Amino acid sequence: MNTPPHTAQANGITQAYRVRGPQDAEPLVLLHARGADGADWAGSAPALAAGPRRVYAPDLRGHGRSDWPGGYAYETMRDDIRAFLGALGIQRTVVVGHSLGGAVA
């Protein structure tokens, strides 16, 4: 998951994300801790994608290559992820979060 991130327009910002696994596999969204980004999951993502899962690791707002229009409210980040899922056409998924990502999840 150290490949250059993809981007999606969601909740009024550009959100960067990494993706791994078969296109038609069930999605799994991994949310990183404060001060990190989606690349933080690079060690775990290959095994999770082999499940098989389609693993998405977005950069939360203000982290990595995602926009930061100001503010880090959990509710805003939650709305970012909801919009991110909508932009990618993901209707149902498992969400796993670490630290800040856990609060957002």
6-104: what fold? Rossmann fold (3.40.50)
Tokens 């490949």 correspond to: 3
Extents of the domains making up the chain = 6-104
Q: How far apart are CA 3 and CA 43, in angstroms?
A: 13
pLDDT of residue 44: 96
Q: How far apart are CA 29 and CA 27, in angstroms?
A: 7
Q: What is the mean pLDDT of each run of 10 residues along the chain (105 residues)?
A: 80 97 97 96 96 97 94 94 98 97 97
pLDDT of residue 76: 96
Q: How far apart are CA 70 and CA 90, in angstroms?
A: 26
64: left (phi over 0), alpha (psi -120 to 50) or beta: left
